Every structure is written in C-alpha cells, then in structure tokens.
Amino acid sequence: MDDFIEQRIITAVRKLLTGRVNEILANWKFLIPVIEFGNIGGGYATAPVITLSSCERTEKERIIRLDAYSLTISFSLQEHPDGELYCYGYAHAAGKALGEDVTLGGVADRAVISGTKYVPPKKANCGVGWGVVISLRVTVETMNSEQ
C-alpha cells in the first residue's frame, strides 16, 4: 500500500468503532447512540475524535524493530440524563471489540487499551455532558528497506 501506517491505524480504529463496537451496543437492552463519522446531521449518533501520536519505545521494541503509537478515542457527549451510562457503554464495548481483534484487522501487531478516563460535566445544566477518553497503545513492526 502507498498510504502511511498512521492512516491505516486510524482507518482500522474507525472501522472497529463503526463496525463491531456498534454491533455490541445494538445488542444491549438500553439504547446508546451509535458511532458514526462524517456528516451526522443531528441524528441519534456520536462522532468520537481519534488522535494518534508516536510514543516512546521500550528497549525491547527498539531491538525487535517495533514502532509504538499512542492513540486516544475521545467521546464528548451532549448533556443527557444517561450520559454517564453512555460513557461506560462506549468504554466497555470498545474494550470488548479490541479484545476480539487485537491486531486491528492485521494493521498492527498489537493494540491494547492502556487507560480509560471518565470526564463528568464541570457544571450541571450548562449544555456540556459527560465524556470518556480511551487510550490505546498500538505496536507495529517496522518495515525498513535498508535490511
């Protein structure tokens, strides 16, 4: 492929969220807004922000030529009585989906959740609701042409 590994990682995470995570959410007895990207248009959906950056590699990762990336998936929800429940649902569904596909469809060697942070509203009834930030560590084998 002629695209960058960073693009492939982000695309794989989006596919995981809009695919398997949405399937998991749909099978629960309570309704949680689905995950969509692009023009949502005021429907019953949310669009998380995905941020990718490289992170420090361990000595072992340098020796065996693994690149390490830090990725965050941030959900900011509008004020809603079930906002806290939605955050827990997104975090649980993302963890379950990633546990089923730790390679992100073959794009990475391993992707694991390294942390989850739940963010309550700063002030009640101000229009800003709950949020959740899911942190992932993604490792990918380095493909150097000088070998």
Distance CA 113, CA 127 (A): 29
pLDDT tens for 56-84 read 777 877 788 888 899 999 999 888 889 89
The reported pLDDT for the residue numbered 143 is 64
User: Number of structural domains, the chain?
Assistant: 1
Signed CA dihedral, 139, 53, 2, 105: sign only: positive
Residue 138 has a pLDDT of 94
Q: Distances in Å between the alpha carbon of 7 and those of 11, 77, 82, 131? A: 6, 26, 33, 25
pTM: 0.87
For position 78, which CATH number holds? 3.30.70
In a domain, 113, yes or no: yes
In the prediction, which pLDDT does 112 show? 96
Rounded CA separation 106/117 (Å): 27
Taking alpha carbons only, the member of 131, 53, 47, 128 closest to residue 91 is 131
Does residue 82 fall inside a structural domain?
Answer: yes
pLDDT of residue 79: 84
146 in a domain, yes or no? no
- Angstrom distance (rounded) from CA 26 to CA 145: 44
pLDDT at 147 over 50: no
Tens of pLDDT along 12-58? 999 999 999 999 999 998 889 999 988 765 558 888 999 998 777 77
Question: What would the pLDDT profile of 125-143 be if each residue is shown by its tens digit?
Answer: 676 789 999 999 999 987 6
Domain that holds residue 46: 5-141
Q: Is the dihedral of CA 98, 73, 47, 11 positive or negative?
A: negative
3-state DSSP assignment of residue 95: helix
94-108 mean pLDDT: 96
With H, G, I as helix, E, B as strand and everything else as coil, classify residue 42: coil
Whether residue 9 is predicted with pLDDT greater than 60 in this model: the reply is yes
